[in-house]
Amino acid sequence: MKLHQLRALVAVASSGSIHEAARALHLTQPAVTRALRDLEDELGLMLVLRSSSGVTLTEEGRAMLRRAELVVNEVARTEEEMSWLRDNRKGRVAIGVTPLAGITVLPRAYNRFRQAMPDVQLEFAEFSPSQLVEQLKNGALDFALGSGMDAREFASLRCVHVATFPMWFAVSRRGQLAGATSLADLQDAEWLHTGPSTEFHAFLEDLFGRAGLPVPRRVTRCASQTLFYSLAVNSNVVTSWTHLALRSEGASDELKTLDLLEQPPARKLFLLYRESAILTASAEYFVHCIEPHCRTSGVRQAHSYEVIRLRGLLLHNFERA
């Protein structure tokens, strides 16, 4: 089993075409076809189905693809790290995030990282928790910062709890809901949230149930932080925010905290890795830059022995590099 065969399989699966895969790999079509056939012969399995409309993977091909993507991405990471060591602080770091990370610890960690590593190529990608798991497992991300009620959403990953953020409900200062004085005034409002729908619905059922009120009919999940903010300040919706977000420039003038409501469940922030992942030196240093800002952001942090040990190890590795 050779690397060029695995790369051919990944490229064909991505493009659905031998022709497009050959273009992406800068090879001839016969070379890609031969690589796939050699891989099939070695495994004794049919991996792809060829037809006039393109190429599709068999069930065995899809199973092989998961392994091939991991190997190809790990080799790319290794090549980047060796380039980083050779060219002195160059390379690439791919970081997955959920919205909470982007409005809390990442901006200051980014600034600190950039002071030490101005030439490293960074890529931030926002995903849902389930998408983060998939992207980490196939090696597309170096690490991720994901938020949730607890670590069960990330049970298949190495998961380190770094911070807990209390939450508050808020509405637009210009909207009709700004004058609400009771929970009943919010019953017909639209409730907008970014987390798992099941948990949020359960919270609202309990909140309104204890007040003897029907549960709101309109509960909407919004996966886009940009749209979430725009709707929060321009529409009659109830949204939940961290204290840090409410204090940020612009938000404090646009949003009003609903003190009449009890706080929604706190959100926890986790550092996430694939169990067998080996971070590049630049990715390790970005992790090192994140942790101090969890301690100084005014949040309640749950340190573990692993977090403390990891911080010292990452700093040692960076200084050594």
- Cα torsion 71, 72, 76, 77: sign: negative
Instruction: Supply the mean pLDDT for the chain.
Output: 82
Residue 64: give its domain's CATH number: 1.10.10.10
Which band of pLDDT confidence, cut at 50, 70 and 90, is reported for residue 318? very low
Check: CB of residue 265 under 8 Å from CB of residue 207: no
- Cα torsion 277, 281, 286, 290: sign: positive
d(CA 194, CA 203): 14
Q: What is the mean pLDDT of residues 4-22?
A: 88
pLDDT digits (tens, 9 = 90+) for 156-211: 888 888 888 888 899 999 888 998 988 999 988 999 988 777 888 888 999 999 99
Q: What is the mean pLDDT of residues 59-88?
A: 79
Which band of pLDDT confidence, cut at 50, 70 and 90, is reported for residue 144? very high
Q: What is the mean pLDDT of residues 91-104?
A: 87
Number of domains in the chain: 3
CB-based contacts of 292, cutoff 8 Å, min separation 6: 112
Q: Do 189 and 171 share a structural domain?
A: yes
Q: Which residue has the higher pLDDT, 312 or 284?
A: 284
| pLDDT value of residue 96 | 94
Q: Name the strand (E) or helix (H) holding 82.
A: helix 59-87
Alpha helix ranges (H) inside 103-154: 106-116, 129-137
Q: Which residue has the higher pLDDT, 273 or 278?
A: 273
The answer, yes or no, to whether residue 149 has pLDDT greater than 60, is yes
Q: Do 272 and 307 share a structural domain?
A: yes
Whether 229 maps to a domain, the answer reads yes
| pLDDT value of residue 87 | 55
Whether 193 maps to a domain, the answer reads yes
| pLDDT value of residue 209 | 93
Check: CB of residue 292 under 8 Å from CB of residue 318: no
| pLDDT value of residue 172 | 92
| pLDDT value of residue 242 | 80
Whether 126 maps to a domain, the answer reads yes
Whether 231 maps to a domain, the answer reads yes
Q: Do 256 and 177 share a structural domain?
A: yes
Check: CB of residue 54 under 8 Å from CB of residue 17: yes
Amino acid at 314: L
- This prediction's pTM: 0.61
Structural domain harbouring 11: 3-72
| pLDDT value of residue 301 | 37
| pLDDT value of residue 210 | 92
The answer, yes or no, to whether residue 297 has pLDDT greater than 70, is no
Q: Do 255 and 176 share a structural domain?
A: yes
| pLDDT value of residue 248 | 65
DSSP symbol at 184: G
Q: Do 176 and 161 share a structural domain?
A: no
Q: Which of 71-80, 132-141, 298-307 has the lowest mean pLDDT?
A: 298-307
Query: 280 — phi, psi (to 5°)?
Result: -70, 165
Q: Do 101 and 160 share a structural domain?
A: yes
What's the full length of the chain, in residues?
A: 321
| pLDDT value of residue 130 | 85
Q: Do 236 and 201 share a structural domain?
A: yes
Radius of gyration of the chain measured on its C-alpha atoms: 24
Share of the chain above pLDDT 70, in %: 85
Whether 80 maps to a domain, the answer reads no
Q: What is the mean pLDDT of residues 141-145?
A: 93
Whether 179 maps to a domain, the answer reads yes
Residue 187: give its domain's CATH number: 3.40.190.10
Q: Do 213 and 232 share a structural domain?
A: yes
